[in-house]
């Protein structure tokens, strides 16, 4: 049987992976839109025509939104690893080294109240 803390970590890792997949899709779509705009610029279109060739405003909003969702999911995973690591006796210094993060950031994750303060 998987303890509750591990079950939460697994669920948050699943969510992070899903947000990562969604981010890749949005990045691919954004890249395609930029390629279309670039082609218009290369063909001599003015800025207005090039930007009107694709809904770049919508692409920007989608990308910004998905980046935020990904960052929130990543934040929750890091925090969950810190909390579980502490319960398992791993020091904040070692957790920081393992993640490649500053000790101060890991300590902040450890001090966060329950919930997502990102």
Length of the chain measured in residues:
118
Residue 117 pLDDT exceeds 60: no
Instruction: Calculate ∠ Cα 56-58-60, nearest 5°.
Output: 70
Residue 116 binned pLDDT confidence (cut-offs 50, 70, 90): low
Tens digits of residue pLDDT in 8-39: 999 999 999 999 999 999 999 999 999 999 99
| Domain total in the chain | 1
118 in a structural domain: no
117 in a structural domain: no
Which pTM value belongs to this model? Answer: 0.86
Q: In 3D, which of 88, 85, 3 has the Cα closest to residue 96?
A: 85
74 in a structural domain: yes
73 in a structural domain: yes
* Pair 37, 51: CB distance under 8 Å: yes
Q: Where in the sequence is the domain holding 48, given as residue range(s)?
A: 4-111
* pLDDT value of residue 12: 97
52 in a structural domain: yes
* Pair 112, 54: CB distance under 8 Å: no
């Amino acid at each position: 049987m998987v303890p509750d803390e591990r079950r939460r970590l697994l669920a948050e890792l699943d969510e992070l992976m899903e947000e990562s997949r969604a981010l890749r899709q949005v990045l691919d779509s954004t890249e395609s839109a930029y390629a279309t705009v670039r082609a218009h610029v290369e063909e001599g279109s003015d800025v207005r025509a090039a930007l009107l060739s694709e809904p770049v405003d919508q692409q920007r909003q989608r990308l910004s939104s998905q980046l935020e969702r990904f960052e929130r999911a990543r934040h929750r995973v890091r925090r969950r690893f810190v909390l579980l690591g502490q319960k398992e006796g791993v020091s904040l210094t070692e957790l920081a080294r393992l993640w490649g993060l500053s000790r101060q950031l890991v300590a902040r994750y450890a001090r966060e109240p329950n919930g997502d303060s990102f």
